[in-house]
Amino acid sequence: MRLSLDGFRAGLHPGTTYRVAFSGGLDSAVLLDLMCEVRRVSGIRLSAVHVHHGILPAADAWSRHCAAVAKEYGVALDILRVDGRPGPGESPEAAARNARYRSLEALLNPGDILVTAQHLDDQAETLLLQLLRGAGLAGLAAMPKAAPFGPGILHRPLLRYGRRDILAYARNKSLRWIEDPSNRDEHYDRNFIRRRIMPELAVRWPAVAANLARSAGHCAEAAGLLDKQADILLATATAADEPGSLDVGAVQRLHPDEQRLLLRRWIRKRGLRVPPAKLLDRIRRELIETAAEHAPAIAWTEGTVRRYRHRLYLLPLAADFDASWTAAWSGETPLTLAGNGGLDAALRPGPGIDPDKWRSGCITVRYRRAGDRLEPAGRKGHHELKKLFQEAGLPPWLRDRQPIVCIDGRIAAIGGSRWLASEFAGCPEGVNIVVRWTPEPVMDRRNGSDAATQP
């Protein structure tokens, strides 16, 4: 398909503020030029962003090139420096991509549209990669043209155009771009497919890229229909009293295929990548089919699925909390808890801490320690926190996360105001200090929603 301004503009996701992901390569050079043409005729707000991965020696020169090109166009450029080095067990491609998208997502404001330069051949290569990895429908759907991305939208306006069309446009406009030498390294799977496999396929099937991209579109349509079915299953299996969890009994009544569909959707909607098929089936067999007396858990690189009292819980990987940690708190301004949300306190009608004792005491916050006991308001006798948590049905992995508010070194409240100490409790019918705990949210990387780590 011939690449023209009119055709490109007609396929552009509607909006007023666009940010161009500008690497300096051929594809993004064409994308930036086209977006500047759109700005000229329609007056959109436009800026560019370049991600400096800090891996190759030429990275600084590429940043300077991008800055010079952006200046020629009169476009503001943000240069984001990230650590794109792979971690243990992580591929270099995945590490660079993840670092790049995290930094780009953090840059966006609500309503911003991030435009990236993936094209028809990239789509075809992605489908082949996913096939060779044994991906399901969601993977075979490859890259959507537009999708929610943090507070904004990620848009790929060049997906209809092939590499030849993009190159022809660049040459016609006499554009300048960078040739990344790593694109010739066939140790990378995508480069091997691009340089070895696709040319051979194109000899026999000249329209191979367009055909594969069309197949990806069919897979995306089918995946969307399955997602709608999965949402129906999810609505019936979600525990009414704990919206973040699944009712094991309801899941058990489903066919195994429906259970797998449900689990995949549940995990994706929390913004986590679905575990491999074998591990997903372990979750189904060991946490759903088996009657467990203890609290079993299955973890993978993204998170953990746990079962407790006929409920399934999904949690991100989180570090243990330091029992020796203590923080002073004025009680007047919110207190941030590292990796665990935050606390705030205010006068409100109903049960809470006596305001006089709150104002006259020294307030500190900590986590559970061995030997902690509490006499709850309205009950006689001191009880171990473990027993109180068990009575309340609090899952074991959430017990050490409960922030404990102390006054003059003695426990006054736990988990916000979920448990109040009798010695500090005010009159339940009066106006008292109510401490609220807002747990750390788990951000959904696709749709911008969040789900608390506490059910």
* pLDDT tens digits along 270-305: 888 899 899 999 999 999 988 665 668 899 888 899
Euclidean distance between CA atoms 79 and 29, whole angstroms: 16
Cβ(264)–Cβ(230) below 8 Å: yes
CATH of the domain at 379: 3.50.40.10
Query: Six-digit token pair at 123?
Result: 């789509």
Q: What confidence tens digit (pLDDT) does each residue in 96-154 have?
A: 888 888 899 999 999 999 999 999 999 999 999 999 988 889 889 989 999 999 899 99
φ/ψ of residue 51, rounded to 5: -100, 120
26 is in an annotated binding site: yes
CATH of the domain at 270: 1.20.59.20
Q: In total, how many domains does the chain have?
A: 3
Is there a single domain that holds both residue 67 and residue 193?
A: yes
Give me the amino acid identity at 175: L
Is there a single domain that holds both residue 257 and residue 400?
A: no
Cβ(352)–Cβ(432) below 8 Å: yes
Is there a single domain that holds both residue 306 and residue 262?
A: yes
Query: Six-digit token pair at 419?
Result: 């448990």
Beta bridge partners of 298: 305
303 is in an annotated binding site: no
Is there a single domain that holds both residue 425 and residue 396?
A: yes
Q: Which of 318, 298, 305 is nearest to 246 (CA)?
A: 305
Beta bridge partners of 329: none
Is there a single domain that holds both residue 248 and residue 178?
A: no
Assigned domain for 351 exists = yes
Is there a single domain that holds both residue 374 and residue 241?
A: no
Assigned domain for 422 exists = yes
Is there a single domain that holds both residue 423 and residue 301?
A: no
Is there a single domain that holds both residue 281 and residue 181?
A: no
In sequence order, what are the residues at sequence separation of 6 or more whose Cβ sits closer than 8 angstroms to the Cβ of residue 295? 306, 307, 308, 395, 396, 397
Domain that holds residue 189: 5-118+156-204
Is there a single domain that holds both residue 255 and residue 292?
A: yes
Assigned domain for 74 exists = yes
How do 45-52 and 17-21 pair as beta strands? parallel
Is there a single domain that holds both residue 406 and residue 373?
A: yes
28 is in an annotated binding site: yes
Is there a single domain that holds both residue 299 and residue 379?
A: no
Is there a single domain that holds both residue 390 and residue 425?
A: yes
How do the pLDDT tens digits run along the chain, 455 residues long?
A: 799 999 999 999 999 999 999 999 999 999 999 999 999 999 899 999 999 987 778 889 999 999 999 999 999 999 999 887 777 666 777 778 888 888 999 999 999 999 999 999 999 999 999 999 888 898 899 899 999 998 999 999 999 999 999 999 999 999 999 998 888 989 889 999 999 999 999 999 999 999 999 999 999 999 999 999 999 999 999 988 777 899 999 999 999 999 999 999 999 988 888 998 999 999 999 999 886 656 688 998 888 999 988 899 998 776 667 778 999 999 999 999 987 889 999 999 999 999 999 999 999 999 999 899 999 999 999 999 999 999 998 888 888 889 999 999 999 999 999 999 999 999 999 999 999 999 865 434 333 333 333 32
Q: State the pLDDT at residue 419.
A: 96
Assigned domain for 334 exists = no
Euclidean distance between CA atoms 442 and 248, whole angstroms: 22
The last residue of a domain, from among 298, 316, 334:
316
In sequence order, what are the residues at sequence separation of 6 or more whose Cβ sits closer than 8 angstroms to the Cβ of residue 94? 86
152 is in an annotated binding site: no
Assigned domain for 125 exists = no
Assigned domain for 434 exists = yes
CB atoms within 10 A of CB 364: 16
Cβ(302)–Cβ(295) below 8 Å: no
The last residue of a domain, from among 250, 282, 316:
316
φ/ψ of residue 434, rounded to 5: -105, 120
- Determine the angle formed by the axes of helices 256-269 and 208-237, rounding to 10 degrees: 100
Q: Where are the beta strands (DSSP E) in 156-310?
A: 246-247, 297-299, 303-308
24 is in an annotated binding site: yes
Q: Where are the beta strands (DSSP E) in 318-440?
A: 326-328, 335-336, 342-349, 363-366, 373-374, 383-384, 404-407, 410-414, 419-420, 431-438
Q: State the pLDDT at residue 444.
A: 40
Q: State the pLDDT at residue 97.
A: 82
Assigned domain for 250 exists = yes
pTM of the complete model: 0.72
Cβ(66)–Cβ(79) below 8 Å: yes
CATH of the domain at 59: 3.40.50.620
Assigned domain for 214 exists = no
